[in-house]
Each structure stands twice: as C-alpha cells, then as structure tokens.
Amino acid sequence: MWHRTELIRSENLHRAGELIKLGRLVVFPTETVYGIGADAGNPDAVAAIFAAKRRPADNPLIVHIPALAELPVVASAVSTLEYALLESFAPGPFTLVLPRAAAIAPDVSAGLSTVAVRVPLNTVAQRFLAVAGRPVAAPSANRSGEPSPTSFAAARTAMSGRVAAIIDGGDCRYGIESTVVKVDSGRRRVVVLRPGSVTIEMITAALTELAVDATRSRSDPDHESWSSYRVCFAGDLGAGGDDAAAASPGTRHPHYQPRAPLYLLPGDRRELLCPNSFGCRVGMLLLESLPDRLHPTPLVKVFRDSEEYGRLLYRSFAWFDSVGCDAIIAQLPPAAGVGLAVRDRLTRAAGGRLVPLQPR
Ligand code: AMP
Ligand code: MG
C-alpha cells in the first residue's frame, strides 16, 4: 500500500506518538540504525511492518521500551542475572531475549514464545517511545535483505511511501544493529545470537564484575554461581550453533547486501590485492592503511579502527551503489571487539565470496 509519508522533526514527536497509537508505522532513529516502529500490542500494525519491509514472517522483531521500568509489559519473567545484564547495558545497543508477555502480539515473535527487548540510548528514540506510551516493535528500516539505514537520508530513501512518518534524528552513532543476547541458564552460558557494539569482551567483563559484587553482597544464593557462566558467540558453537540459529531466525536470512557484489579480503592477505585484475569500477573498504600498490581515490575508504568501520559500513555500501560500482572489496577486520560484528555483517553480505588474489 502507498502512503503519503510525513517527515517529522525531533521537536514534534507528539505527532509520531499519535500515529503509533493509531496503529500506523513510524520510522525513528536509534543509536544503532533507523527502525520501523509500530505498536507491539496491535497485531494489524505489526503485520504492516512485515508488509512494508517484505520481511519473512519467521523473522521476529525487537520490542523497544523507553526504560527498564516498562519491562513487565513486554516480558513475562526475568531472572536476577538477566536483570543485572540489562542494568549493565541498558539503555544501549543491547537486546535481550526473554519470555514474551501476553500484551505483546504473538506475530512480533514470529511463532516463538520469547521476545527480544531493548532500551535505546538515543534521546530522540527515548522521547518518541515515551510519547508513544506503549512498547514499539521495530526492525531495521531497510527493505528485507538490504543494508540498514544509518542516516535520515537513507531511511527516507528506503521507506518513503511505505510508512506514515519518518522522524529526522540525524546520523546513527554506532551504525550496526544491536547485540542480541540470550541467557541459557541450563548450560550456564550467555549466548550472543548477533554480535554488535556491546562486545563479547564487554559482556564477559560485566559478568565477572556482577559475580564479584554478588558474592560480596550475598543477597541471593544463585548469585554466587554467576562466575561459572561463559559468554559465547552463537556462530562459534558448531553443532550447538544450529540450536542458536533456530533460536534467532533472523540469522538464517540473507541480509545487509548492497547492489554491487561484495568480495571479502582476509586481513592477512591484503598486500596481495591486485587492483587491476578487476577491470571494472571497484569500491574498497580497508582498515588502518592503504596497501603499497594502491593509491587513494574517492572509491577507496580507509577506516582507522573497527568502530569507525562499523559506523560507516552501510553508508559506504549506499555510496558505492549510488556511484555505480560494479563490485565492492571489503577487508575483514580482526574478530575482536566490534570487529566481530563487522565481520558478521560483511560475511553475510558477501555470501562467502572471497577476493581473487595474486599468488604470493
Ligand atoms: P532486526 O530487527 O532487523 O534488527 O533483526 C532483529 C534480530 O533480532 C533478528 O536477528 C532476530 O532473529 C533477532 N530476534 C528478535 N526476536 C528474537 C527472539 N525472540 N529470539 C531470538 N532472536 C530474536
Ligand atoms: Mg535488520
């Protein structure tokens, strides 16, 4: 269905809140990417999100709340460890999977009994959620399979005519989607279903600190055993990873793809890159510095670290597509910190394609 899309400035958020209450779709900024939001308790509004994005019905949505005080409306239960993790990382780019409360439309969870919950840090998002006055289900505001919008212009390009309104909130601070986490108390592990800007190292450090604090205060007998939890990435779990992928269906779908085919360059092979072997217009994403035989051009972007790489990744894809690149080459960052999330997005966008390299 075609809509006349209102553009809403961050001073006029009451209008965005009204539209959510009417069951309409509103695109809003967060610190990760722009989201396409609807009343999470309204099944028709939730169905409209799937239609606007052409999102497969088996890919669940994240529910956004302005503060942890609203958690009981969304989740039917939360353990002391889960709450402690939320207190450590919310508000922020951190999403936790919990049992779903009755007030949330079941289609939000795409058939699962759980729901993913996040408190965004972005102040426009927080004010919008407060005026909406109800939990807002919101996936990234891209069409399914395409890169997520990280600026107002990109959100407008992706969603004009498909939603009731788009809020202008400038550029997104992190640029890649939130870290999605599930606590598996049976196997005593905190599973990162989707890596993001809250890194495995940060979660591990928080867990250690929480275990120490809990042992000191001895307020709950279960606290003392938190130190036996491991933090792991679902992508590294091997056979067990299948369980985790089933538990996070979004990770099964093709995602984040620019129009130009993307080729991965392993970080330790970059000196073998031969720019002439492509014979076409190639965009490049590199980390830290240019390899010797390359010269700077508007089509070569060099990031100083994985954080900057993540923040500008989707904007670079959009730029390469807008100038008509025939192919994109992207160097894989090391799998540490935010690098793990950047590698995840690049690997899925490339569908496993590697750059053809000159022999050593
Ligand atoms: P997006 O909204 O595009 O950022 O994608 C949301 C991500 O959260 C997808 O990877 C989903 O698989 C994941 N997700 C949402 N709800 C759940 C849930 N109940 N259990 C596991 N993963 C979830
Ligand atoms: Mg998405």
CATH number where 284 lies: 3.40.50.11030
Same-domain pairing of 170 and 196: yes
Q: Nearest ligand, CA of residue 196?
A: 1
Helix (H, G, I), strand (E, B) or coil at 292: coil
Q: Is the CB of 110 under 6 A from ligand 1?
A: no
pLDDT tens-digit series, residues 168-222: 999 999 999 999 999 999 999 999 999 999 999 999 999 999 887 766 665 555 6
Does 139 map to a domain? yes
Other CB atoms within 10 Å distance of the CB of residue 332: 21
Q: What is the pLDDT of residue 145?
A: 85
Task: Return the minimum-mean-pLDDT range out of 240-249, 280-289, 329-338.
Answer: 240-249
Same-domain pairing of 147 and 278: no
Q: What is the pLDDT of residue 271?
A: 72
Same-domain pairing of 232 and 286: no
In the structure encoding, which two tokens stand for residue 341, read together? 């999330």
Nearest C-alpha to atom 1 of ligand 1 is from which residue?
139
Does 69 map to a domain? yes
Same-domain pairing of 221 and 273: no
Tell which of 252, 278, 305 closes a domain.
252
CATH number where 52 lies: 3.90.870.10
| Residues 158 and 35: beta-carbon distance below 8 Å | no
The Å distance, Cα 199 to ligand 1 centre, comes to 17
Same-domain pairing of 45 and 178: yes
Tell which of 252, 283, 299 closes a domain.
252
Locate the ligand 1 atom nearest the alpha carbon of residue 140 and give its number: 3
Non-local CB neighbours of 355 within 8 Å, separated by 6+ positions: 263, 264, 265, 269, 273, 329
Q: Please name which of 66, 63, 314 lies closest in space to residue 171, comparing C-alpha atoms.
A: 314
Tell which of 194, 224, 252 closes a domain.
252
User: Domain span at residue 153?
Assistant: 1-252
Give the count of domains, the chain: 2
Does 128 map to a domain? yes
Same-domain pairing of 107 and 194: yes
Does 356 map to a domain? no
Does 242 map to a domain? yes
Q: How confident is residue 356, by pLDDT bands cut at 50, 70 and 90?
A: confident
Locate the ligand 1 atom nearest the alpha carbon of residue 108 and give its number: 16
Does 329 map to a domain? yes
What letter does residue 354 receive in the DSSP assignment? B
Same-domain pairing of 240 and 309: no
Same-domain pairing of 158 and 277: no
Same-domain pairing of 111 and 73: yes
Is the model's pLDDT at 319 over the cut of 70? yes
Q: What is the pLDDT of residue 219?
A: 58
Beta bridge partners of 167: 8
Does 358 map to a domain? no
pLDDT tens-digit series, residues 228-243: 899 999 988 765 545 5
Q: Is the CB of 265 under 6 A from ligand 1?
A: no
Q: Is the CB of 192 under 6 A from ligand 1?
A: no
Pocket test for ligand 1, best of 28, 32, 49, 62 (most atoms within 8 A of CB): 62
Q: How confident is residue 224, by pLDDT bands cut at 50, 70 and 90?
A: low
Same-domain pairing of 30 and 151: yes
Does 360 map to a domain? no
Per the rule left: phi > 0, alpha: psi between -120 and 50, beta: everything else, 111 is: left
Q: Nearest ligand, CA of residue 180?
A: 1
Q: In the chain, where do the E strands start and end? A: 6-9, 26-28, 35-39, 62-64, 94-99, 114-118, 136-137, 165-168, 179-184, 189-194, 230-233, 262-265, 282-287, 300-303, 327-331
Percent of the chain predicted with pLDDT > 90: 74
Q: What is the pLDDT of residue 216?
A: 65
Q: Please name which of 220, 27, 14, 211 lies closest in space to residue 127, comparing C-alpha atoms.
A: 14
